[in-house]
Amino acid sequence: MASRAADIAYAEIRGLILSGEAPPGTRLKEEELASRCGVSRTPVRDALRRLEGELFVVRNGASRMFVADWQAEDLDELFALRGMIEAHAAARAALRIGPEALAELEAVNARLGEAVAGPTPDIATFLEANRRFHDLVIAAAESPRLPAVLALLVEQPIVRRTAQHYGREALERSAAEHAELVRALAARDPEWARGVMTGHIRRAYHAFVEASRVAPARAR
């Protein structure tokens, strides 16, 4: 029962962070979280330790817990690491992917393209399709280690959910880069796939930085 309660608290607190309801720098109080999650403070404490290990949460000198506040240097490193790992995954996938997975990648990217083609981009669908696309590439790489490593690096940079502030050009470019990656995978060219993914992640980093600058200004 205790483990189940800790899982409930973990999912709830993590959701608060990823949704932006608990933005970077927010203090996380055990009593308030326990009330919100409908559990005692012990599973909340266990959940916070787990989130601390995953770098969603940081502890200060007085052992108070806060939502991690990523600085520019942190984000640059995270995207650099993500770029290296996903580029490696793309190169592996180029040598292993089958026709069914390629067809699904094309279908998912078509859905992503449709999400950004309307008068007002559908950011929720864009995020879902984008994640699914990258998950499919990782799965095609057939490495048991890659999903666990990337889980930390991919979600941390989107804590503030700045995709809603991306310009149409950035959204459309993402779809175009996905399409080129599918072509590289279909050609079974690992170096082409590696290069496309490397450029895709670096472009995503600069789009994220720009969106992060715009988001606070619009909030005011």
**Quick one: pLDDT at residue 212?**
65
The candidate with the shortest Cα–Cα distance to 122, out of 132, 134, 112, 131, is 112
Domain at 72-219, CATH from 3.40.50.10480, 1.10.260.40, 3.30.930.10, 1.20.120.530:
1.20.120.530
- Only one residue has tokens 């393209």, namely 113
Is 199:149 a contact under the CB 8 Å cutoff? Answer: no
Domains of the chain, residue spans: 2-67, 72-219
Q: What is the pTM of this model?
A: 0.75
CA 208 to chain CA centroid, nearest Å? 12
Strand partners, 67: 57
User: Class for domain 2-67, per CATH?
Assistant: mainly alpha
DSSP string, 66-81: EE----HHHHHHHHHH
**Quick one: pLDDT at residue 30?**
94
**Quick one: pLDDT at residue 150?**
84
pLDDT per residue, tens digit, the chain (220 aa), is: 458 899 999 999 988 887 778 888 899 999 999 999 999 999 999 999 999 887 789 998 888 999 987 776 777 888 899 999 999 999 999 999 999 999 999 999 999 999 999 888 898 899 889 989 999 999 999 999 998 888 777 665 554 455 666 788 888 999 999 999 999 999 999 999 999 999 999 998 888 777 666 554 444 3
